[in-house]
Structure 1
Amino acid sequence: MPIVLIASFPAGPWQTNCYLMALQEGGPCVVVDPGVGATDGVRRGLQQYGLTLEAVLLTHGHVDHIASAREIADEAEVPVWVHEADADLLTEPLLALSADSRPILESLYDTTTFTPPRDVRHYDGPVTAAGITFETRHAPGHTPGCTLLVPQQTEQQLVLSGDVVFAGSIGRTDMPRGSSFAMASSLATQVLTLPDEAHLLPGHGPTTTVGAERLNNPWLQPHALMAMQQNTDDGSDY
């Protein structure tokens, strides 16, 4: 059965795209990247479509993608999936953020440390939840645990690309734990190896396709990839 329901909304000050995916209305679903201020939007989506949450999946551990994961997952008594390399960011988000992020976190949460979800699991091959099997493609660079999530039950190939690649840009690599060299490798081996018709559902901004980004994204051109391999940080906004 193919996925027939994909709902998304931007949440929080960073306008992070949060996704709900299900094979059908009235059935189980997964939520991807519930970030800052995403809880109410997720609850509305679950109610609107009659969905039952079965898992929370994270593309990486930055706070704008994970801040609501514990509340949503613990409330529904479901697991949170994340790459092991980013697991500590669920409790210590400043480990991968610039110093000027501290006052932002303190203003939002009165703290810079989080309580972990009760059930945290790590990607180790494909993940199946809500009847959907997700291929996991490890793509470090923005953070060490960045992971592309590729649902298999789709008529057109979809890729939840997180902050690896956006329409016209890529995730920044100049924050703690970022790596231009790793990002260049991930773009070359995990993004550019995808078919042109694959639709990218990024962590910020509009959807796009691999073909459009291969042609128009300046950061995916050979000279840019070579520059990143020489530790030239990119200038993305995210």
Structure 2
Amino acid sequence: MLTIAFPAAAFATNCYVLADGPGEECVIVDPGIGIEPTLREVLTEHRLKPAAVLLTHGHLDHVYSVTPVCGGELGAYIHHDDRYRLADPISTLDPALIAMFEQQFGTAASWREPDDIVEVTDRERLTLAGLDFEVLHAPGHTEGSVMFATDRVPTGVSDQVEVDRTLISGDVLFAGSIGRTDLPGGSHEAMQRSLRDVVLPQPDSALVLTGHGPATTIGRERFTNPYLQDLT
């Protein structure tokens, strides 16, 4: 699976582009703030045509560019419980943070919903751009946080690490940490259940593409992540 990852211009949010190979359709995951120039370069270099946008949750740093990326043609896939966040995610930010954001980028923050929003549910299976995904609902960071699982792995990775599955974890699981639960819609108790019932049952051979920071594996996190060790 052709897999390109690059950070957004703010909050170091990872944006992913996934495809069966060069010259094919692709899926874009979590188009955050200021990703459009880099995304255009990636699509041009690899001759990719976007087919859909997957959103791991509705926080602004993961969805800010979803509408221009979708362009009125692509579906934006998000869990039902985070659908309401696409109405106006800017309104949930602290005014001081919005002012800092506008000063950094030199433009007023604005928002418009994507034209085509597709609500997904737990364990739903999606086939997009020739790739199969399973939706894993894992609330705690937000009510509708999900991980997208596929049995494909990034090209070349399996030669270096023994992996046979990929989890795009959003802000559910990071290398050595987890997503915060103290923001509106977050829940420590829900996160504990998600880690116990959704994350830990995943095989050690699953590669984890995180919402922020480096990739990891379930096996590594099972034995080193302090937020998982108390649950095992």
SS at match of 1:80: strand
User: What is the match of residue 217 of structure 1?
Assistant: 225
Counterparts of 2:50 and 2:127, CA distance in 1: 13
TM-superposed deviation, 1:92: 1.9
TM-superposed deviation, 1:85: 1.1
Counterparts of 1:147 and 1:202, CA distance in 2: 12
TM-superposed deviation, 1:43: 1.0
CA-atom RMSD in angstroms: 1.9
Contact residue 147 and residue 161 of structure 1 kept, 8 A: yes
Counterparts of 1:207 and 1:188, CA distance in 2: 20
SS at match of 2:71: helix
Instruction: Give matches, 1:14-93, under 5 Å.
Output: 14-74=11-71, 77-93=73-89
Counterparts of 1:105 and 1:60, CA distance in 2: 20
TM-superposed deviation, 1:83: 0.7
- For structure 1, the residue ranges without an aligned partner over 5 or more in a row are 227-238
Aligned length: 219
Q: For 1:183-233, what per-residue CA distance to the aligned partner results, in whole angstroms no more than 9, with x for missing partners?
A: 0000111111101111100000000011111111111122xx59xxxxxxx
SS at match of 1:189: helix
For 1:71, give the aligned amino acid.
P
Contact residue 88 and residue 112 of structure 2 kept, 8 A: no
Counterparts of 2:223 and 2:93, CA distance in 1: 31
For 1:14, give the aligned amino acid.
F
Residues 97, 186 of structure 1: alpha-carbon distance in 2 compared, 3 angstrom cutoff: farther
User: What is the match of residue 144 of structure 2?
Assistant: 145
User: What is the match of residue 9 of structure 1?
Assistant: 6
SS at match of 1:212: helix
TM-superposed deviation, 1:94: 4.7
Q: With structure 1 as the length reference, what TM-score do the two structures score?
A: 0.86
For 1:180, give the aligned amino acid.
H
Residues 176, 96 of structure 1: alpha-carbon distance in 2 compared, 3 angstrom cutoff: farther
Q: With structure 2 as the length reference, what TM-score do the two structures score?
A: 0.88
For 1:58, give the aligned amino acid.
L
- For structure 2, the residue ranges without an aligned partner over 5 or more in a row are 159-163
User: What is the match of residue 236 of structure 1?
Assistant: none
User: What is the match of residue 126 of structure 2?
Assistant: 127
